[in-house]
Amino acid sequence: MKSTTNSIILEVACRLLIPVLIVFGVYVLVHGEYSPGGGFQAGVVLALAVVLNRVMEPADTKKGYWTFKIIALAGMGPIIYLLTGLWSIPFGGNFLEYGHLPLAVHEAERHLYGILFVEIGVTVGVMATIISIFDSLGKVGDPDDHGSLL
């Protein structure tokens, strides 16, 4: 059977929803200090954009899943967190002490940038983990693809 498309209404709705989800995810990440939100929620919202695309594609298309790349990205998140924490140690601070970050701004603003980098790490980790779990759940088709690497 030929690769069939889904309902046209669902396709158009997804085409409109996915950019909004991505922009909203970045907004939740960056603005998370002043409003509800933060790294975890932003990661889930960004992953929802990818998951929505995966749900909407027809069941018999060839899935180009990035199984290894997405697990590597899930490892990148904690590494960003760790490097942010270690960054202040050579400049006389403790682990994750944002006041000693070598940025040429006021100290309160240094705290803000430190928290932002940590939240970026959390976002990348959560997003990649959720996409990886989703890919492992919906393994169909490819006979040479035996589920997750883990």
Partner 1 sequence: MIFVILLSLLLLIILVTGLIAVFIPHIFGSVVLFNAFSFFVVLAYLLLSAPDVAFTEAVIGVISTAYYVIAVRELRKGDRE
Residues that bind partner 1 (CB under 8 A): 36-38, 40-41, 44-45, 47-48, 51, 55, 130, 133-134, 137-138, 140, 143
Say how many C-beta atoms besides its own lie within 10 A of residue 41's C-beta.
17
Measure the CA–CA gap between 124 and 70, rounded to whole angstroms: 10
Taking the complex as a whole, how short is the minimal distance between the CB of residue 76 and partner 1, in angstroms? 20
Measured from the CB of residue 101, what is the shortest distance to partner 1 in angstroms?
26
Least separation, in Å, of the C-beta of 121 and partner 1?
Answer: 18
Closest by Cα among 141, 121, 112, 100 to 42: 121
Indicate the residue among 54 and 69 with the shorter CB distance to partner 1.
54
Residue 107 CB, nearest approach to partner 1 (Å): 26
What is Dmax (Cα atoms) for the chain? Answer: 65
Task: Indicate the residue among 19 and 83 with the shorter CB distance to partner 1.
Answer: 19
CA distance linking residue 118 with residue 116, whole number of Å = 5
Return the number of the residue (47 or 128) whose C-beta is nearest partner 1: 47
Nearer to partner 1, 22 or 44 (CB): 44
C-alpha closest to that of 120 among 53, 58, 40, 44? 40
Distance of CA 71 to the CA centre of its chain: 12
